[in-house]
Structure 1
Amino acid sequence: MNLDTTTEVSNLAAEEELILASFSRRLMEIAAVSGARGAAASPTAALNAMRLPAITLDHQGLVVEVNAAAEIVFDENIRIKDRRLFIRDLDSRTHLKHVIDQFTSSPRPNPLAFEPVIVPRADKLPVILRIIPFESPPHQAAQTVRTLLTLNALGPKPGPPASIIAKTFRLTPAEAKLACIIARGAPPDIAARELKISRETARNQLKSVFAKTDTHRQSELVALLLQVE
């Protein structure tokens, strides 16, 4: 196998790792919704434990519950107003209202029939808002949750806690801090600037992190670290 072919295979493997990592979010959302049906825990609480923003609505489209992860996403572009989810962008707001109306009026709506609502944000990447039908157990009839909304705010996200990364992979405190920044997808140069260390020090620490985590590329490392909670 020549060098060019080897490089192509490596790049393909890295892309596959990132794709698989992106699937984990959707699988966790589905698992939380399924597990919360008939259980004492709410779907927003289950998703909050996994640091995934979520909101539940009743049959009138009014907000029932918002988890802490969702509160972090809110800004002037998307927020709760008068017990409703308010979106500043008119097209997105209209799209959301249409989907919620369909969900609340249909006895068994098909979530696959509706595309996610893309919420644009000034000076930020957009939020992808997914709408999932939810059937509350009978004992919650007084405040029925009809719809679950999950929010995926694109852009850099906080990495896993440094203390957990350090214990999991036996990293030094300095290596763990670097790994947290790398987990957000930041390159070593940016990590060096945030940590106020030299680029050479950051690269040496990254080599050590690669060795201790048995990874060889930054994409492999990010995919691994994103599994740490």
Structure 2
Amino acid sequence: MSKTTESPDDAELLSRLIGLVYDCALDPSGWERTLDEIRRDLGFCNGMFTIWTAPKGQPLLNVTSGIPEEYARRIPDHGADIIAQWGGAERIAGFAVGEPKVLSWERPRSEWVDTAYYRDWIEPQGIVDLMAVAITRDKDTTCSVGFARHRSEGAIGARQLHLARLLVPHIQRTVTISRLLDVKSIAAANFSAALDAVAAGVVLVDRTLCIVSANKAARAMMVGDGAMIDRRGFLALGGTAATTALRQAVGQANAGDVALGRRGIGIPTARSDGSPAVAHVLPLRHGELRSGLATGADAAVFVAPADGMPLAQGETIAALFDLTPAETRVYTAIADGRTLGETAKTLGISLATAKTHLLRLFAKTGTRRQAELVRLAGSFAAPL
């Protein structure tokens, strides 16, 4: 199967949409406009963005776009049918966080049309297909986004899936940082004061990690916490590999919102007492809201206790350095001590393909030899 790539028009569209998404980290009221533009630009007839508490399921934020009020009011009445149409609660729980799921690709139409939800809600609106994504899923909250496709547009295709996959990491970053900020909105006039009220450590840096400013919590962390370090005016994290991941994420953020991908979400950093913490990077150079907040800063770095579900080590590296699934498999094999030849044989790929993946791993992780990759793996071996 050939790799799907976006057209120049889609690349411009993504840049604009991601900019809107990131501005929502500082002003959650922007989600209504952002969701509306995403669903229109990707060719959906409606969309829903929800954050709710776990395990009680109380909504913290519920935004809809393109759903008539009479239908929006009736959504809670169809909860059981909505779960059943995707194959049941157990199947839904097994869906990977961050991976868009398309209903017509997951289940035959014949298995989900014989419900009151379909007859009373889906069919009257002319909906022919659905996409759903679990954005975050941890012990405190769950976030998801879903879209519907009208019959006039046909079933959801490769373009919608591809663009959704590119958007999801940026939505994940925004939701995570927005929860840390816990504010309704931040304006340039009160930016510093608002950050000082945030419990998480927040440091504004330029593209070289030179510290532009730090909030009260971050300054306290730098004294002896270990998760954040002021190294002669430059920000470092607890561990060389974590600092490398941070440097690469901030460098990509300076290149533009789209380039950041999954980098800079949940970088693990160790505190002095051994308790785990994570760092998240928010680009500040672009966007209608962010670009005017802090002169000289390219990114905001947030550090907070790690309270989510731990990732497997390969998943951690993949998220930190934006590795493809194939690159992650090669990385994991090499981290386990296999030679490149053994890796190729184990994965069922040619040696030339394995070498190509290895070169990309070097470029993305800032390493030059396999031994350095193994050391990188060792630095993240302790589970969060």
Bigger Rg over Cα: 2
TM-score (norm 2): 0.30
TM-score (norm 1): 0.48
Answer 1 or 2: higher relative contact order, Cα 8 Å, separation at least 6. Answer: 1
